[in-house]
Amino acid sequence: MKQKAVLTGLFLLLVFSSLSFKCDGNSTPPDSPWRPAAKAADDIAISINTMIKVKRALAKQGTITPAEEKAMTVALLKLNTADKTLVNRIKMVKSATDANAQKPNLCSLFGTLSSALSDLNQSGVMPIANPSAKTQLTNIINALNASAAIIAVQCQ
């Protein structure tokens, strides 16, 4: 029970601290229309890292089965790859003109990220039998979905 409280506290600490991170000087310029999307993509990376740590802790405790852990690992790798690709492409956007030219490509990459996020939820989190573990991981999925929603606004 104490470990559950510690994991939940760690998760909440990481989620709230990730909201205070700012993009560094090497990312998109402050006047770029894709800056909120870049920040959200960085937040997705932080949430993925959090989910990996929680998944490992749950597996170590025996709260999730090796098969459940493997399914999550595969889905997390897919999501992480999609997020890195999107972040790298967003960082290449340097002006409003460039942002308009890159929008179809960026939105396509966002579609790949959305698909990977859905796959993580459907094949990685939903099948987990332990309700406590499922709740912890669902909280992280909710944080990922909130960040993805910010990026989705840019693709409308």
Intra-chain end-to-end CA distance of the chain, in Å: 44
Ranges of each domain in the chain: 37-154
Least confident stretch, 7-11, 43-47, 91-95: 7-11
> What's the mean pLDDT in 73-90?
93
Reported pTM = 0.77
Question: Looking at residue 97, what is its pLDDT?
Answer: 75
Say whether pLDDT at 151 is over 80. yes
Least confident stretch, 5-19, 42-56, 90-104, 131-145: 5-19
Classify domain 37-154 by CATH architecture. Answer: Up-down Bundle (1.20)
Q: Which long-range contacts (CB under 8 A, 24 or more apart) does 90-99 make?
A: 90/27, 90/28, 90/34, 90/37, 90/38, 90/41, 91/26, 91/27, 91/28, 91/38, 93/28, 93/32, 93/34, 94/28, 94/29, 94/32, 95/29, 95/32, 96/31, 96/32, 96/33, 99/32, 99/33, 99/34
Question: Looking at residue 22, what is its pLDDT?
Answer: 47
Average pLDDT, the chain: 84
Question: Looking at residue 2, what is its pLDDT?
Answer: 62
Nearest to 87 by CA among 69, 114, 66, 110: 110
The DSSP code sequence of 69-125 is HHHHHHHHHHHHHHHHHHHHHHHT--SHHHHHHHHHHHHHHHHHHHHHHHHIIIIII
